[in-house]
Amino acid sequence: MNPLPTRVAVIGGGQNCEHEVSLASAAAVAAALDPARYEVVRLTIGRDGAWSDEHGGVVGLGAAVELLQTCAAVLPVVHGPRGEDGTLAALCDLAGVPCVGSGVRAGALAMDKWATKLVAEAIGVRTATGVLVSRADSIAWSGPVVVKPVAAGSSHGVSLVRDADDFADALESALALDDRVLVEEVIVGREIDLAVLRLPGGDLMVAPALEIVVDDVFDTRTKYDGSADFRLPADLDEVAGKDLETAAIAMYEALGCAGVARIDFFVTEHGPVLNEVNTMPGMTEQSQVPKMFAAGGLPYPDLLDLLVRGAL
């Protein structure tokens, strides 16, 4: 007799600017989980914070938690604040249900770009020189800089400022999404992403590196309009590849990540410089991380299976 499928909740949406991206990721994940192995329970968090089931019926938070508790595991495919930042991991922890991916600590640290910089520098991984700014601070433009919210994703609110006249607007754009902003030096180098996966047995698997080639900045528009050139695997010599892999694993472990994480770097003539860490990256089959693992011989449904089994 075949065992009954494992019941898994897949959560999408969220109360942030990545709501639509999260919906696409969650829909793709739910559709790709092997129905012979998994019974999928779909839940969506609306922009207003209301939870709904797969039929669109609104359920209260208490009812949603009770539904999660009927599942063997939860796969929270919610990018950005109130999701990827450890919020949903904390909810699952309190509900006593295994959660796929990073826990509260790693999610919160990685979502906070300033905290991520501090961790990186403490373990010897270079980051761009930068300062932390709030609305109460006064800061003068000091040459070309990148301005970004401390906790936001998909490059929302990120600006490359080449002219002093544009600096104030860039700060306002970032402060509209967060009360803290990073102002960083512009790093000149190749943009290379790595993906790290903890396997159910505890070993780490690193996918082939991916290079992103764009004419200017890999901003929100170029992330989703198809104009970016993704080169997979990235053309790296043995030394550069090993340096990147070592830095990616070091960040994964130092932050305490679980499941899969994407670690983004700039490769310069002086070695890798960390850009950011994503503990719940885009997860459609055509997103960067699934494509990276597929290039390494791990198909999308098998990647999802490993993630769920890792949580269990």
pLDDT (0 to 100) of residue 200: 94
Please report the sign of the dihedral spanned by the C-alpha atoms of residue 294, residue 300, residue 302, residue 304.
positive
The tokens for 223 are 């992330």
The tokens for 21 are 């991206």
Going by pLDDT thresholds of 50, 70 and 90, the confidence category of residue 222 is: low
What is the pLDDT averaged over residues 46-55?
Answer: 93
Residue 51 in any domain: the answer is: yes
**Does residue 14 sit in the same domain as residue 90?**
yes
What is the pLDDT averaged over residues 54-73?
Answer: 93
What is the pLDDT averaged over residues 105-126?
Answer: 97
The region of weakest confidence among 93-102, 183-192, 198-207, 210-219 is: 210-219
**Does residue 135 sit in the same domain as residue 164?**
yes
Kindly report the average pLDDT of the chain as a whole number: 93
pLDDT (0 to 100) of residue 1: 56
CA–CA distance, 306 with 155 (Å, rounded to integer): 28
Question: Tokens 């403490």 correspond to what residue?
Answer: 122
Contact 114, 150 (CB under 8 A): yes
For 229, what's the count of Cα atoms within 13 Å in the CB-facing half-sphere?
7
Contact 209, 227 (CB under 8 A): no
| Omega cis (within 30) before 144 | no
What CATH number should be reported for the domain holding residue 174?
A: 3.30.1490.20
CA–CA distance, 79 with 110 (Å, rounded to integer): 12
pLDDT (0 to 100) of residue 53: 92
**Does residue 112 sit in the same domain as residue 215?**
yes
**Does residue 22 sit in the same domain as residue 149?**
no
C-alpha radius of gyration, the chain, whole number: 19
Contact 182, 139 (CB under 8 A): no
What CATH number should be reported for the domain holding residue 28?
A: 3.40.50.20
Residue 1 in any domain: the answer is: no
Q: Is the pLDDT of residue 32 over 80?
A: yes
Q: How many domains does the chain divide into?
A: 3
**Does residue 137 sit in the same domain as residue 115?**
no
What is the pLDDT averaged over residues 102-127?
Answer: 97
Going by pLDDT thresholds of 50, 70 and 90, the confidence category of residue 215 is: confident
Residue range of the domain that includes 171: 130-185
**Does residue 211 sit in the same domain as residue 138?**
no
pLDDT (0 to 100) of residue 171: 93
**Does residue 173 sit in the same domain as residue 221?**
no
What CATH number should be reported for the domain holding residue 203?
A: 3.30.470.20
Contact 257, 194 (CB under 8 A): no
